Amino acid sequence: MEPRQKSHILSSYYAPRGNTRMYELGVQIAQQYLAPTDKLIGIIGESGAGKSALIRGMFPGLELTNDDNGIYMRPLPLLSAGEIRGFFAPHTYHVDIRFENGFTQMTELAEAIVTALENNKRVIVEHFELVYPMLGANANLLIGVGEQVLIARPNLFGPSPEEIRKVVHESLPYRLMAHTAEDLCEMCMEPEDLLHCGHADFKHGFTMYFDKLPTFKIPDLEMKVNAMIRASLPIAYADDNHVSIGGVCHPCDGPRIHVSNTGQVKGFHLLHHYVYDRFRKLYYLVGCVGEHSEEILKELTIKSQRPGWE
**How far is 8 from 24, CA to CA, in rounded Å?**
21
**How far is 246 from 226, CA to CA, in rounded Å?**
14
Q: List the alpha helices (DSSP H) in 157-292.
A: 161-187, 191-195, 218-230
Torsion over CA of 169, 175, 181 and 182, rounded to 10 degrees? -160
Q: Which CATH number fits domain 2-159: 3.40.50, 3.30.70, 2.40.10, 3.40.1000?
A: 3.40.50
Look at residue 32 and give its three-state secondary structure.
helix
Beta bridge partners of 145: 149
* Percentage, residues of the chain above pLDDT 90: 68
Residue 70 Rama label (left phi>0; alpha psi -120 to 50; beta): left
Beta bridge partners of 245: 235, 248
Q: How confident is the model at residue 3 (pLDDT cuts 50, 70, 90)?
A: very low
State pLDDT tens for residues 197-243. 999 888 899 999 999 999 999 999 999 999 999 999 999 999 989 99
Supply the pTM of this predicted model.
Answer: 0.84
The burial of 163, by beta-carbon neighbours within 10 Å (0-12 exposed, 13-18 middle, 19 or more buried), is given as middle
What residue ranges of the chain are covered by domains with CATH 3.30.980.10? Answer: 173-304
State pLDDT tens for residues 81-129. 766 665 556 789 999 999 899 889 999 999 999 999 999 999 999 999 9
Question: Are the C-beta atoms of 192 and 169 separated by less than 8 Å?
Answer: no
What residue ranges of the chain are covered by domains with CATH 3.40.50? Answer: 2-159
Q: Which CATH number fits domain 173-304: 3.40.50.300, 3.30.980.10, 3.20.19.10, 3.10.129.10?
A: 3.30.980.10
